[in-house]
């Protein structure tokens, strides 16, 4: 970092490569590059030698052979006759099925707990502190196991839900019963919950091997449309307020715009719920959530939520008290102070560490191994790896996959982060 103020007049001597700070950098970089290249060559050489010694080749052809194992939870259609590649994709979908709801729920938990920790209510603040400290200081693995093991071992077999004629005659109750007006059954096999169905679905569109469910697409479009219209209404209210000083009442318009189109859509497509029913040995119908999935999700949400709570609390505390006071002095009410003054500034502090928590949560989904959840690591890096014995290929693919996932999340989040950062000259 030191700079020569006055360049010597005489020409270049080789000793300057070591002693002159202007040229030393090149020497160091050359040596580093050389060492790195040697190291990589050494690794490659070893790998080739080892592969040759084991009589193995390095190719990815195994991805297209029959997988031959079952996956309990599949979001992508899959049977054990499909290829290893397909199994990998099922695993990826399962990873995302934990990661995406996990990030959303953890943010909700984190924000609520973080705000409540700052509450003036002594009891609530203490409770939240206890929650945060306990979850932050105990390994995630323990939480996953602690939630999973009782879920499996303390629940009843599906047959315990059965009510037979003799039991009615004897006035007995079955050992277990379903929750929420016979709609949710928690048994040893998993959680059976109602499944949303449509009588008149819009069908699906096949786009080169990927089928897109038009019903869900339409629902998404309608929700986004309502949100957009709602923003227009609020923008108009803002304009009126700026020109006349009086803000028109818009909340009822917002409520109507946000709810009516969606309800109309549900009625038009004949939305109803399919409830799980008890058949001979098991529950059928509805949707079956594996305990491994539920336990992993709950543990990840509670664990990451504790970290996010600390981030949120820190972010709010980082905004100086003067900002609130200045805002009150301008005549803003507490609600608007929060939404217009404190939160926009706090978000700038909160977002960067929040991104890294999302990344952590996504990577931590690989702990599903503890409860045999078949995610990316369970399929590609687990059963496929063990069946084919292709450690090198599977591990490389899996690492690459996680790497791409992380880079995608962080780049999307970084774009958002840049949009809210303070624009400095």
Partner 1 sequence: MQTLSYVRTEMLPQQPAPLGERGAAKWLRENLFSGPVNTIMTLLALYVIYLIIAAITPWLLNGVWNASSLSECRAIIAAAAGEGASGACWAVINERWHQWLFGFYPQDQYWRPTLAFVLLFVAIAPVLFDRVPKQLLWFTLIYPALCFWLLWGGSVWGPIVAMIGFVVLAIVYRLAQPLIGISPAAGAGVVAAILWWLFLDVPAVNLLAGLADLQLQPVRSSDFGGFLLAITIGVTAISFSLPIGILLALGRQSDMPIVKLLSVGFIEFIRGVPLITLLFTASLLLQYFLPPNTEFDIILRVIILVTLFAAAYLAEVIRGGLAALPRGQYEAADALGLDYWRAQRLIILPQALKISIPSIVSTFIGLFKDTTLVSFVGLLDPLRGVTNVVRADINWKGIYWEPYIYVGALFFIICFGMSRYSMYLEQKLKTDHR
Residues forming contacts to partner 1 in the complex (CB under 8 A) are 1-3, 18-19, 21, 25, 28-29, 32-33, 36, 43, 46-47, 49-51, 53, 119-124, 127, 133-134, 136-142, 145-146, 149-150, 153, 359, 363-364, 366-367, 369-370, 377, 381, 385, 391-392, 395, 398-399, 402-403, 406-407
Are 286 and 193 spatial neighbours (Cβ–Cβ below 8 Å)?
A: yes
Q: Looking at beta carbons only, is 123 or 246 nearer to partner 1?
A: 123
Q: Looking at beta carbons only, is 258 or 317 nearer to partner 1?
A: 317
| Ramachandran sector of residue 68 (left: φ over 0; alpha: ψ -120 to 50; beta: rest) | left
The nearest distance, CB 235 to partner 1, in angstroms, is 31
- Provide the pairing of β-strand 277-278 with 185-187: unpaired
The nearest distance, CB 103 to partner 1, in angstroms, is 15
The nearest distance, CB 98 to partner 1, in angstroms, is 13
Q: What are the start-end ranges of the E strands in 152-231?
A: 185-187, 190-193, 195-198, 204-207, 210-213
The nearest distance, CB 334 to partner 1, in angstroms, is 13
The residues that bridge with 193 in the sheet, in sequence order, are 287
The nearest distance, CB 208 to partner 1, in angstroms, is 29
Q: Looking at beta carbons only, is 346 or 394 nearer to partner 1?
A: 394
Q: Looking at beta carbons only, is 214 or 370 nearer to partner 1?
A: 370
C-alpha dihedral over 39, 40, 46, 48, to 10 degrees? -160
User: Which residues touch 319 (CB under 8 Å, ≥6 apart)?
Assistant: 342, 345, 346, 349
- The tokens of 1 are what? 């970092």
Q: How far is CA 172 from the centre of its chain?
A: 45
C-alpha dihedral over 363, 364, 370, 371, to 10 degrees? -100
Query: Alpha-carbon distance 283 to 178, whole Å?
Result: 11
The nearest distance, CB 356 to partner 1, in angstroms, is 8
Q: Looking at beta carbons only, is 53 or 415 nearer to partner 1?
A: 53
Q: Looking at beta carbons only, is 286 or 368 nearer to partner 1?
A: 368
């Amino acid at each position: 970092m030191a700079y020569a103020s006055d360049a010597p007049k005489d020409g270049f001597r080789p000793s300057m490569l070591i002693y002159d700070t202007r040229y030393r950098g090149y020497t160091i970089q050359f040596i580093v590059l050389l060492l790195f290249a040697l190291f990589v060559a050494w690794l490659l050489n070893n790998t080739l030698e080892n592969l040759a010694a084991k009589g193995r080749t390095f190719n990815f052809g195994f991805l297209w052979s029959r997988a031959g194992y079952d996956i309990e939870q599949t979001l992508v259609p899959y049977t054990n006759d499909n290829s290893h590649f397909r199994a990998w994709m099922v695993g990826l979908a399962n990873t995302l099925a934990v990661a995406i709801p996990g990030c959303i729920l953890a943010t909700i938990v984190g924000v609520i707990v973080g705000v409540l920790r700052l509450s003036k209510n002594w009891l609530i603040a203490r409770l939240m502190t206890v929650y945060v400290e306990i979850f932050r200081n105990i390994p995630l693995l323990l939480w996953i196991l602690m939630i999973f093991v009782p879920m499996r071992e303390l629940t009843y077999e599906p047959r315990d839900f059965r009510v037979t004629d003799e039991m009615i005659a004897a006035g007995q109750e079955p050992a277990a019963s379903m929750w929420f007006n016979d709609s949710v059954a928690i048994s040893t096999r998993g959680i059976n919950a109602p499944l949303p169905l449509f009588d008149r679905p819009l069908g699906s569109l096949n786009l080169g091997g990927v089928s897109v469910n038009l019903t869900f697409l339409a629902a998404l479009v309608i929700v986004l449309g309502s949100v957009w219209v709602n923003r227009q209404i609020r923008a108009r209210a803002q304009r009126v307020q700026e020109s006349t000083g009086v803000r028109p009442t818009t909340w009822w318009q917002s409520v109507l715009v946000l709810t009516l189109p969606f309800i109309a859509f549900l009625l038009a497509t004949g939305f109803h719920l399919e409830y799980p029913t008890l058949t001979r040995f098991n529950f059928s119908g509805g949707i079956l959530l594996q305990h491994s999935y539920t336990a992993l999700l709950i543990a990840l949400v509670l664990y990451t939520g504790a970290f996010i709570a600390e981030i949120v609390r820190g972010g709010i505390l980082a905004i100086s008290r003067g900002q609130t006071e200045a805002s009150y002095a301008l005549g803003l009410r507490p609600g608007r102070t929060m939404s217009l003054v404190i939160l926009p500034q706090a978000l700038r502090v909160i977002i960067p560490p929040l991104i890294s928590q999302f990344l952590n949560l996504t990577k931590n989904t690989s702990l599903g191994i503890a409860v045999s959840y078949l995610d990316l690591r369970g399929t590609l890096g687990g059963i496929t790896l063990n069946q084919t014995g292709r450690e090198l290929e599977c591990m490389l693919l899996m690492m690459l996959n996680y790497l791409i996932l992380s880079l995608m999340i962080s780049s999307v989040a970084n774009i958002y982060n840049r949009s809210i950062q303070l624009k400095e000259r």
